[in-house]
């Protein structure tokens, strides 16, 4: 019996071959393309929390905890942990971990996209100037975490991906590499993105609402939470969605990237 739509993901167009031990089984994986990378970005960059898998330090048994999730500008997952927690102690002993993020909705849970990222965790120093923008991005996604983010026992961990398993639903299984998840970006781009976000929120709230409406959302009062090279997240209350740019801000600048998006017709042209 097949439990997961991804188990038969490669049956259409699957390839096979012959190895030293005989015929190879058909591949269940699809080739990674821009659509798969776009889905992966949406899943991790809009995730508010994830199922964090670690190894218990005293017996090596797998343990899973819920963790708040955000990303740095390049797309590397960031979590906030208390040093008193089991998962923090486990990661201090063995940095290997995984985090599962995904969509939820009506019907069969296995019909909705999800992704497991395999990673190595490393702590971020409060004194490191590079941690400040990561803290700001995290709080833009999780404003209520400001109540405890600076408690002495709390710290940020960066999860450096070693790969990922992406399941987009039936016949949509992909094996991702680290560079499918994390960008190499110009050092000046994060500061430009932050200025663009603040300008849009302060002076062009109507345009932010319009972009949310173009993405299928309703209501006023949307704000841009975080921006990266490929797109941005807009938030209203507990609702968070991702919108991708049609033009690369690294080439045209954020102003032109936002203008091009606002000029997009309803049919996407």
Q: What is the pLDDT of residues 30-52, one digit of tens each?
A: 999 999 999 999 999 999 999 99
User: Could you count the other beta carbons within 10 Å of the beta carbon of residue 268?
Assistant: 7
What is the spatial distance between Cα 221 and Cα 238, in angstroms, rounded to a whole number?
12
Q: What is the pLDDT of residues 148-171, one digit of tens each?
A: 999 999 999 999 999 999 999 888
What is the spatial distance between Cα 66 and Cα 52, in angstroms, rounded to a whole number?
6
User: Please, are residues 190 and 73 in contact by the beta-carbon 8 Å criterion?
Assistant: yes
Residue with token string 């670690």: 54
What is the spatial distance between Cα 151 and Cα 83, in angstroms, rounded to a whole number?
10
What is the spatial distance between Cα 177 and Cα 118, in angstroms, rounded to a whole number?
10
23 phi and psi angles, rounded to 5 deg: -60, 140
What is the spatial distance between Cα 68 and Cα 156, in angstroms, rounded to a whole number?
10
Could you tell me the two tokens for 48? 């508010």
**Annotated domain spans of the chain:** 34-181, 189-262
The reply to whether 34-181 and 189-262 are identical in fold is no
Exposure of 118 in the CB half-sphere (CA atoms within 13 A): 9
The domain 34-181 is classified under which CATH number: 2.30.110.10, 3.65.10.10, 3.30.70.270, 3.40.50.300?
Answer: 2.30.110.10
Average pLDDT estimate for 186-211: 96
Q: What is the CATH number of domain 189-262?
A: 3.20.180.10
Average pLDDT estimate for 98-124: 92
Dihedral sign computed on CA atoms, order 63, 69, 72, 76:
positive
| This prediction's pTM | 0.86
């Amino acid at each position: 019996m097949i439990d997961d739509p991804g188990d038969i993901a490669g049956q259409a167009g699957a390839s096979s071959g012959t190895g030293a031990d005989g015929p190879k089984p058909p591949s269940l994986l699809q080739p990674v393309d821009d659509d798969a990378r776009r889905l992966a970005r949406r899943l991790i960059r809009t995730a508010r929390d994830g199922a964090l898998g670690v190894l218990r330090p005293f017996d090596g048994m797998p343990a899973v905890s819920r963790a708040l999730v955000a990303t740095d500008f390049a797309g590397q997952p960031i979590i906030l942990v208390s040093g008193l927690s089991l998962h923090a102690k486990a990661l201090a002993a063995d940095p290997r971990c995984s985090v599962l993020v995904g969509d939820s909705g009506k019907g069969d849970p296995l019909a909705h996209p999800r992704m497991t990222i395999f990673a190595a965790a490393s702590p971020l120093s409060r004194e490191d100037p590079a941690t400040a923008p990561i803290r700001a991005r995290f709080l833009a996604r999780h404003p209520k975490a400001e109540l405890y983010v600076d408690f002495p026992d709390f710290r940020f961990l960066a999860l450096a991906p070693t790969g990922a398993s992406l399941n987009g639903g039936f016949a949509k299984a992909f094996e991702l590499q680290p560079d499918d998840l994390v960008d190499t970006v110009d050092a000046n781009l994060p500061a430009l993105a932050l200025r663009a976000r603040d300008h849009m929120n302060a002076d062009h709230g109507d345009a932010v609402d319009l972009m949310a409406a173009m993405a299928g959302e309703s209501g006023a009062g949307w704000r841009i939470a975080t921006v990266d090279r490929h797109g941005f997240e807009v938030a209203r209350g507990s609702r968070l969605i991702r919108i991708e740019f049609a033009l690369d801000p690294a080439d045209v600048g954020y102003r032109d990237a936002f203008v091009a998006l606002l000029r997009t017709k309803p049919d996407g042209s």
